[in-house]
């Protein structure tokens, strides 16, 4: 048995994972990043002990952690994580003081990609690119059955390719990044603007009633057939497709897996994306990869983290 | 000894290459694509025989061909080449009827990348991305000392990542591709527009005198300090950098090699590009790759093609 940990800025989840990559038990808790690294890692260890007791199996072989930010993977250190507000935290060493097993550290988006590749939508492919549409856009790349990491473990920053020179300001400081157009944050911004422009729309009414808009409420309006919401959807789909087309032109992958909450929209989201992508990729439909939704959801990161010993 | 052939839409060059990847002799001729595939391959064979006689060494081990277009590499066929106006040409088989040695076929941009990696600016790196700024933009990618080819040999279409959604129409049919902003063709278009807007500029005078503008004349005006030409240059540099930043965010490579005629501008071109890139890459200057100019120029494709037996 092995342990996979998904450490996010908001939530931390610890899973006990079988050698067949099934999650046997998992516990989720708030990260409470204000507590500081020391305290968070202590709670992470307690959660791990709890999971181990739950499954009544003390024989864990290793622990894998997926974590956002810039990492020094080889030395098991978080160099900087904006979401956690961590600077230079030697997480592996600290966690190893609780458990006498190897600890592996990897970027959270890479862990999600690895999870989908091992057990989810990517499992029949030897090249796969995972794109997570969430607050930002995360990317994970599997090439030739291996996690692609670049020279310093800082590749796959897929959210920060520019699709609009001098366009929307991105959180990274650059203008026009894909993330600034195709993340859920961007969708919400686009929907709010559209609602303001169309005060007779369902979208506007929703925004007034609920005080704001969320991914969920926007999709509710789209499914209701609201004209303003549909316009937002069509433009958003185009923005999502722009980045996917770029990624296909660059990587010519076998498969693209779309993750994040929005992927629950399934074919409603994927069908129009596939149509735009197929029409616009450079080498035409003969090189069209499979584009599917994540099948593991939030479990992908846990399963992927638990597999880090192999990669 | 081995043979490397660079087959372009305008020019075809055959080189005799030593096992140490030095070009011993080469002959260049017009491709004359109107002649049709049969005749061109016949002339390619004659040129190869001529090169072999020149170096007085009959012991060639193999022939490698770099060629633009969509290829079926394994079967040695050109599926479609816009530049050559070829449809389904079994080039390897035809050339093998003249020479009893193995023939290898690969995309021309990949051959150039391979050449720079083996013998040129990329030779000290195990991950390297070559970008050729010419009529279009070509891309070649070396990852872990191997040529990256994607699932169908159609990866690395780096010129066709969008930097401006709904922007300039690209020759590929998509709008806003990097190629439509950062190729030499795009530079010339930008300079012509600028010249029309500034009729008192050196750029305008040059265009009037020579009937048009070329990459060479534009750079002459830039070096003369013409204000309009300098404005074009600054914007062009920004466009070139946008794509390079994207590529670094995606690949985190050790090295980027810039090829094409414009790379002869050396540091004059590279210095401002490096400055923009370093400021804008997601992970900051710690992941900054080496950005250099091609050191082999047009020879890169020949040397790379001659190395195809190893890749």
Closest CA of chain B from A124, distance in Å? 13
Nearest residue of B to residue A162, measured between CA atoms: B163
Share of chain B above pLDDT 70, in %: 100
Residues B91 and B130 in one domain: no
Supply the pLDDT for residue B229. Answer: 98
Taking residues A44-59, what's their average pLDDT?
94
Give A101-111 pLDDT, tens digit per residue. Answer: 999 999 999 99
Nearest residue of B to residue A153, measured between CA atoms: B252
Coil vs helix vs strand at B225: coil
* Residue B215 pLDDT > 90: yes
Give B117-171 pLDDT, tens digit per residue. Answer: 999 999 999 999 999 999 899 999 999 999 999 999 989 999 999 999 999 999 8
Residues B176 and B253 in one domain: yes
* Residue A35 pLDDT > 90: yes
CB B220 within 8 A of CB B253: no
Mutate to test the interface with A, among B162, B173, B245 (most CBs of A within 10 A): B162
Supply the pLDDT for residue A9. Answer: 87
Taking residues A259-264, what's their average pLDDT?
93
Contacts of B122 in chain A (CB under 8 A): none
Determine, for residues A249 and B289 on separate chains, whether the beta-carbon distance falls below 8 Å: no
Closest CA of chain B from A161, distance in Å? 5
State phi, psi for A310 to the nearest 5 degrees. -90, -10
Supply the pLDDT for residue B57. Answer: 87
* Residue A57 pLDDT > 90: no
What span, in angstroms and rounded, lies between the C-alpha atoms of B193 and A286?
Answer: 38
> Residue B45 is part of a domain; what is its CATH number?
3.30.420.40
B140 touches chain A (CB under 8 A): no
Residues A95 and A159 in one domain: no
Q: What is the pTM of this model?
A: 0.94
State which residues form the domain around A54: 2-115+299-310
Residues B11 and B49 in one domain: yes
CB A218 within 8 A of CB A229: yes
Point out the residue among A161, A163, A253 whose CB comes nearest to the CB of B249.
Answer: A161
Reference B195, options B173, B175, B222; nearest CA is B222
B287 touches chain A (CB under 8 A): yes
Number of domains observed in the structure of chain B:
2
Taking residues A37-57, what's their average pLDDT?
95
Determine, for residues A250 and B70 on separate chains, whether the beta-carbon distance falls below 8 Å: no
* Residue B9 pLDDT > 90: no
Q: Structure tokens of A62?
A: 């290793």
Taking residues A264-282, what's their average pLDDT?
97
Give B278-306 pLDDT, tens digit per residue. Answer: 999 999 999 999 999 999 999 999 999 99
ipTM of the complex: 0.94
Supply the pLDDT for residue A12. Answer: 96
What span, in angstroms and rounded, lies between the C-alpha atoms of B95 and B78?
Answer: 13
Supply the pLDDT for residue A60. Answer: 95
Residues B144 and B269 in one domain: yes
Reference A306, options A142, A71, A167, A117; nearest CA is A117
Nearest residue of A to residue B245, measured between CA atoms: A161
B82 touches chain A (CB under 8 A): no
Mutate to test the interface with A, among B77, B127, B151 (most CBs of A within 10 A): B151
Residues B153 and B94 in one domain: no
* Residue B26 pLDDT > 90: yes
Residues B128 and B251 in one domain: yes
Determine, for residues A151 and B249 on separate chains, whether the beta-carbon distance falls below 8 Å: no
Residues A182 and A265 in one domain: yes
Determine, for residues B287 and A152 on separate chains, whether the beta-carbon distance falls below 8 Å: yes
Give A112-129 pLDDT, tens digit per residue. Answer: 999 999 999 999 999 999
Name the maximum alpha-carbon separation found in chain A: 62
Residues A210 and A241 in one domain: yes
Closest CA of chain B from A99, distance in Å? 32
Supply the pLDDT for residue B83. Answer: 83
Supply the pLDDT for residue A113. Answer: 97
What average pLDDT does the structure give for chain B? Answer: 96
Residues B24 and B65 in one domain: yes
Nearest residue of B to residue A139, measured between CA atoms: B250
Q: Structure tokens of B206?
A: 């040059």
Determine, for residues B249 and A143 on separate chains, whether the beta-carbon distance falls below 8 Å: no
Residues A289 and A185 in one domain: yes
Q: Structure tokens of A48?
A: 């791990």
- Using 50, 70 and 90 to split pLDDT, how confident is the model at B32? very high
Mutate to test the interface with B, among A68, A161, A242, A280 (most CBs of B within 10 A): A161
Residues B82 and B13 in one domain: yes
């Amino acid at each position: 048995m092995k342990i996979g940990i998904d450490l996010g800025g908001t939530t931390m989840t610890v899973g006990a994972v079988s050698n067949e990559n099934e999650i046997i038990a998992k516990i989720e808790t708030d990260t409470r990043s204000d507590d500081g690294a020391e305290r968070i890692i202590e709670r992470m260890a307690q959660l791990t002990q709890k999971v181990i007791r739950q499954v009544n199996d003390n024989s864990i072989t290793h622990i894998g952690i997926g974590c956002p930010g810039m990492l020094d993977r080889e030395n098991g250190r978080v160099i900087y994580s904006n979401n956690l507000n961590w600077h230079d935290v030697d997480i592996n060493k600290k966690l190893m003081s609780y458990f006498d097993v190897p600890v592996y550290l990897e970027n959270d988006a890479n862990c999600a990609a690895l999870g989908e590749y091992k057990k989810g939508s990517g499992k029949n492919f030897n090249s796969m690119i995972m794109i997570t549409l969430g607050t930002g856009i995360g990317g994970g790349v599997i090439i030739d059955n291996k996690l692609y990491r670049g020279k310093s473990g800082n590749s796959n920053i897929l959210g920060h390719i520019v699709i609009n020179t001098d366009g929307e300001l991105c959180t990274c400081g650059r203008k026009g990044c894909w993330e600034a157009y195709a993340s859920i944050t961007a969708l919400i911004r686009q929907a709010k603007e559209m609602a303001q422009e169309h005060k007779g729309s369902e979208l506007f009414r929703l925004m007034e009633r609920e005080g704001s808009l969320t991914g969920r409420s926007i999709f509710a309006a789209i499914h209701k057939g609201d004209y303003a919401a549909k316009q937002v959807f069509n433009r958003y789909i185009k923005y999502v497709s722009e980045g996917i087309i770029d990624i296909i032109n660059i990587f010519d992958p076998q498969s693209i897996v779309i993750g994040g909450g929005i992927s629950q929209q399934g074919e409603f989201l994927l069908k129009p994306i596939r149509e735009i992508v197929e029409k616009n990729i450079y080498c035409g439909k003969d090189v069209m990869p499979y584009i599917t939704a994540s099948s593991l959801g939030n479990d992908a990161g846990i399963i992927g983290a638990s597999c880090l010993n192999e990669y």
